[in-house]
Amino acid sequence: MPIYEYYCSDCNKEISILFLSFSEAAVSNPTCPDCGKKKLDRLLSRVSFAQNKKETETIKTPAKNSDLENPKSLADEMKKATRNSKADYGDDFKEVAGRLEKGESPVSIEKKLRKRVGETMDTH
């Protein structure tokens, strides 16, 4: 069940919306629970990962996603987030980071990866 973060410019608030499935998220037009505005801007979610059984570290994304619109900057943030971890994030993570470093847009990468696994939904 995916949770997506959105920003409402009318309320100046960040909100999280839980969807029951990815397909529901694809066809949904989320509404701000405070003001009822239907046009929300999707944000990059914060990432958490466990370094060991007792600790969970949260990597905070920049308050504004404009810093991450540049694919190379996003690749740098991904590297920073995993730098001190001994975990193997897998081939998909490495592929995405490599493609971002080469300048490919995150939307293009997401569309191609979704197509690879058989998802037909559009990106958010």
**Same domain, yes or no: 96 and 65:** yes
**How many structural domains are present in the chain?**
2
**Same domain, yes or no: 72 and 104:** yes
**Same domain, yes or no: 99 and 75:** yes
Q: In this structure, what token pair is assigned to residue 57?
A: 């570290």
**Same domain, yes or no: 66 and 122:** yes
Pair type for strands 13-18 and 41-43 = unpaired
Residue 14, classed as helix, strand or coil, is: strand
Q: Is 5 within 8 Å of 14 (Cβ atoms)?
A: yes
Contacts of 103 (CB under 8 A, 6+ apart): 71, 72
**Same domain, yes or no: 28 and 62:** no
Domain assignment present for 49 = no
- What is the Cα gyration radius of the chain? 16
pLDDT value for 123: 47
Mean pLDDT, contiguous 10-residue spans, the chain (124 residues)? 82 85 81 87 69 54 56 83 79 87 86 78 51
pLDDT value for 105: 85
**Same domain, yes or no: 69 and 34:** no
Task: Supply the range of the domain harboring residue 13.
Answer: 1-43
Element (H, E) at 110: helix 106-116
**Same domain, yes or no: 63 and 123:** yes
**Same domain, yes or no: 83 and 34:** no
**Same domain, yes or no: 32 and 70:** no
pLDDT value for 102: 92
Domain assignment present for 52 = no
**Same domain, yes or no: 13 and 61:** no
Domain assignment present for 51 = no
Domain assignment present for 64 = yes
Question: Considering the entire predicted model, what is its pTM?
Answer: 0.45
pLDDT value for 9: 86
**Same domain, yes or no: 39 and 66:** no
